[in-house]
Chain A
Amino acid sequence: VPARILAFEASRGDDAGARIAPVSASIHASDRDWPGDERALSRFLSGDVLGFEQIVRHYSGMVFSLAARLVGPAEAEDVVQETFLRAYHGLERFRGEASLKTWLYAIALNRARARHGRLARLRAVFTAGKTREGDAFASLDDAADTALSPEENALLTERRRRLRAAVAALPDEFRAAVVLRDLEGLSYEEVAEVLGVPVGTVRSRLARGRALLKEKLS
């Protein structure tokens, strides 16, 4: 890990040795050290890579969660990598008109869309009829609830699998709205920022997406 940090340091700053200690500290620091979007950004833009490290630490989990819901956990980490790589090169152009979170979500959504399109085509070729829809979105976190009986746990797992499959099968525009609002908990305004559409469009897409989801599950 230190060698990688040094590599990262060397790629951003001239005085790599002087920053080893704070970078190492940042890796092990908790999210309580999050200074906020503005300070982290200004730190990064002033040439201190610690700012970007903080951004990655604070947002990588959220981005991963979104990516996992859009493309499945197996591909989500690649989406996160691409998202932050793009962010690294694009942060200098970030003007702060949207929040850093929605900006990162928008990048992740685009990367997930691109990857999801490729994955869907590959799956259609290689695994047609062999896997159940939604299996790619299954999570190890669907652990059995100890308060439920085995039968109830099985029903719950099956219901979640069907729900994820139904979400995954939604048309892209509705799926993004439903995931961002109902799964990621973004407000209408934030969803509108991520999708780049007016709030009224978000309302109608959400209503239509939920209705479609209900049809698929019934």
Chain B
Amino acid sequence: VSARPDVPRLSEEDLDLLISRSLDGDLSPEDEQRLERLVALDPAAARRKSELSALVADLKALPEHATPFALATRVSSNVAERAGRPGSLGARVGFFPAPGFAKAALVILGIVGASIAILRPAPKRLAEGPVDVLLYNAPKPASPAPQALIAESRLDKPVRERADAAAKDLAKEKAFAPEADARRKADVSEAAEHAAAGDKKAMAKLEGVRQNEVAIAADAPLLAEAAPKQRADRDEGGVLDSVRPQASTKVTSAAALADAAPAPAAPAAAPALVSAQAAGALGGAVESRAPRGWTVSVRGDAVRRWSLRRAPDNPPPARGAAVYRVTLDGSGRVTALSRVSAGAADPRLDAFVRGMVFESITPPAETQAKAAARETVSSSADFEIGLEPR
């Protein structure tokens, strides 16, 4: 209960606000009367008003700083000079860089650029990775994949032709020396069976049987090494499409021997070996180390959409890996190609790649709705293939 109920009670802040407004003449006449009554009844309020009034009077009495001589002239000319500079674009948008700003900005940009270059994440590895699809002129498996059949039928042809030619030669030889021929034929057959099983001794025996000095034995380790690998490849059943190297006639016999060796159960193996052997026996210049063939890999996302259907019969000799980027038309034929990998241009290899034919892979569980999209995808394609010596 106030001892002076007739005096209105105000907080210090409210009193200061009233006094401040009163000093500026901002109070209404009613509020001014209320303040006067309060000041008259409350000595503390009166003292406060007196102090603030003196303060404001002192503030208003503070002398102004004299304007420097010719300030307007200096300002005008200075503004004109700075406004005429090319760098005033920043000033137009309210940007006044401090001295050294450009250098600092350059240093910061350099640091940021170097950081980006250093910390940039490595390029993404392909999720699918290069998928090698192989075709080899081995005996036909029990249920060959369509692509394998297509390629095999085409790529076996030269071997078979040479085998037939060798058989004819054998027949001629047989007419002149029936006994020797029978013995040699038996030896060859026996050696072929053992060689097919990877037996080195059999190869040595075969070496003895041969009349000339052809170094087919040099391929024996290759045969032994290739046999389990090719068998495993065949067991996996996932490898398809490859280009069998038919680089030259000289290579063929040795390559056929290598391919025939690991499949003793297949009836086509022995004739191939015989043909190869016969070619050697007849003085065919068989090389001791056959150049290897090409493995064609479809890379990137195109792995899911395209596979090699067939390739030209006469691939150039394999000398090193090569990567091409090819563009296909709707039928899978190469319409454009560019060599991605470094190295000297090889017109023969270019022509070989240009002759490849691909086919679209149709996912088995694809729905009707997705078929239209697939049609679009199949109409053309642009992807990379890799050729690696095998």
Binding site for B on A (CB under 8 A): 1, 4-5, 7-12, 27, 49, 52-53, 56-57, 60-61, 64-65, 68-69, 73, 76-77, 80-82, 84-86, 88-90, 139-142, 159-160, 163-164, 167, 178, 181-183, 185, 188, 203-204, 206-208, 210-211, 213-214, 217-218
Q: Roughly how many angstroms separate A60 CA and B79 CA in the complex, as a whole number? A: 13
- B58 interface hit (Cβ, 8 Å): yes
Nearest CB on A from B90, distance (A):
10
Can you list the 5 inter-chain pairs with the closest CB atoms, starting with the nearest? A8-B80, A4-B77, A11-B84, A207-B20, A68-B65
Within 8 Å CB of B73, what residues of A? Answer: 1, 4, 27
For A138, the closest partner residue in chain B by CB is: B65
Nearest neighbor of A159 in chain B, beta-carbon distance:
B58
The chain B residue with its CB closest to the CB of A28 is: B73
**Does B24 interact with chain A (Cβ within 8 Å)?**
yes
- Which positions 65-102 of chain B face chain A at CB distance < 8 Å? 65-68, 71-84, 88, 91-92, 94, 96
| B76 engages A64 (CB within 8 Å) | no
Give the chain B neighbours of A188 by CB distance below 8 A.
24, 26
Is B83's CB under 8 angstroms from A89's CB?
Answer: yes
Contact with A along B187-229 (1 / 0, CB 8 A): 0000000000000000000000000000000000000000000
Interface size class of B (residues with CB under 8 A): 35 or more
* Chain B proximity of A137: nearest CB distance (Å): 9
Q: Is the CB of A12 within 8 A of B80?
A: yes
A163 and B79 contacting across the interface, CB-CB below 8 Å: no
Q: How far does the alpha carbon of A60 sit from the alpha carbon of B70 in the complex, in Å? A: 10
- Residues of B contacting A53 in the complex (Cβ-Cβ under 8 angstroms): 72, 76
Q: How far is the CB of B137 from chain A (nearest CB, A)?
A: 82
| A139 touching B79, Cβ below 8 Å | no
B347 within 8 A of A: no
Contact partner of A82 among B21, B59, B92, B96, CB < 8 A? B96
Query: Is there an interface contact between B59 and A61, defined as CB atoms closer than 8 Å?
Result: no
Determine if B41 is an interface residue (Cβ-Cβ < 8 Å). no
Residue B16 interfacial (CB < 8 Å): yes
Q: Which chain A positions have C-beta within 8 A of B51?
A: 214, 218
Which applies to chain A's interface (DSSP): helix, strand, loop or mixed? helix
Q: Is B64 at the interface (CB under 8 A from chain A)? A: yes
**Which residues of A lie under 8 Å from residue B78 when comparing CB positions?**
81, 85
Q: Tell me which of A76, A141, A181, A182 has the highest count of chain B C-beta atoms within 10 A of its own C-beta.
A: A182
The answer to whether A5 touches B82 (Cβ under 8 A) is no
Contacts of A204 in B (CB 8 A): 17
> Could you say which of A61, A88, A159 contacts B83, with CB atoms under 8 Å apart?
A88
Nearest-Cβ distance from residue A52 to partner chain B, whole angstroms: 7
B26 touches A203 (CB 8 A): yes
Across-interface contacts of B58 in A (CB, < 8 A):
159-160, 163
Q: Is the CB of A217 within 8 A of B55?
A: yes
Which residues of chain B have C-beta atoms less than 8 A from A88's C-beta?
Answer: 79, 83
A72 → chain B closest CB, angstroms: 9
| Interface: B122 (CB within 8 A) | no
Contact B55 A141 (CB under 8 A): no
When the two chains form their complex, are residues A76 and B56 in contact, meaning their CB atoms are under 8 A apart? Answer: no
Q: Who on chain A is nearest to B68 by CB? A: A77
Q: A64-B65, A160-B62, A207-B17 are in contact. Are A7 and B75 (CB under 8 A)?
A: no
Q: Which B residues lie at the A interface, using CB under 8 A?
A: 13, 16-17, 19-21, 24, 26, 51-52, 55-56, 58-60, 62-68, 71-84, 88, 91-92, 94, 96
Contact (Cβ within 8 A) A56 B72 = yes
Whole-angstrom distance from the CB of B22 to the nearest CB of chain A? 10
Given A85-B91, A181-B24, A182-B60, A76 contacting B77 (CB threshold 8 A): no
A65 near B55 with CB under 8 A, answer: no
Question: Given A80-B75, A139-B63, A160-B62, is A86 in contact with B91 using a C-beta cutoff of 8 Å?
Answer: yes
Given A11-B83, A12-B83, A207-B19, 4 extra CB contacts under 8 A: A81-B75, A81-B78, A90-B94, A159-B58
22 pairs across A/B with beta carbons < 8 Å? A8-B80, A8-B84, A11-B84, A27-B76, A56-B79, A60-B67, A60-B75, A64-B67, A65-B64, A65-B65, A76-B65, A86-B91, A89-B92, A139-B66, A160-B63, A181-B24, A203-B21, A203-B26, A206-B20, A210-B20, A211-B16, A213-B55
User: A11, A68, A77, A89: which contacts B80 (Cβ < 8 A)?
Assistant: A11
B residues in contact with A185, CB < 8 Å: 60
Picked from A5, A11, A73, A82, the residue with its CB within 8 Å of the CB of B65 is A73
A207 touches B84 (CB 8 A): no
B80 touches A141 (CB 8 A): no
Residues of B within 8 A of A82 (CB): 96
Interface pair A182/B56, CB less than 8 Å apart: yes
Given A183-B62, A203-B26, A206-B24, A8 contacting B72 (CB threshold 8 A): no
Report the minimal beta-carbon distance from A3 to chain B, rounded to whole angstroms.
9
B-side contacts of A164, CB under 8 Å: 62
A57 touches B83 (CB 8 A): no
Complex Cα distance, B65 from A38, in Å, reads 28
Across-interface contacts of B26 in A (CB, < 8 A): 188, 203
Of all chain B residues, which has the CB nearest A82? B96
State which of B55, B74, B77 has its C-beta within 8 Å of the C-beta of A210. B55
Most buried by A among B16, B21, B26, B59: B59
CB-CB under 8 A from A90, the residues of chain B are: 94
The docked-state distance in angstroms from the alpha carbon of A69 to that of B67 is: 12
Instruction: Please report the C-alpha to C-alpha distance between residue A142 and residue B64 in the assembled complex, in whole angstroms.
Output: 9
Chain B min CB distance to A189 (Å):
11
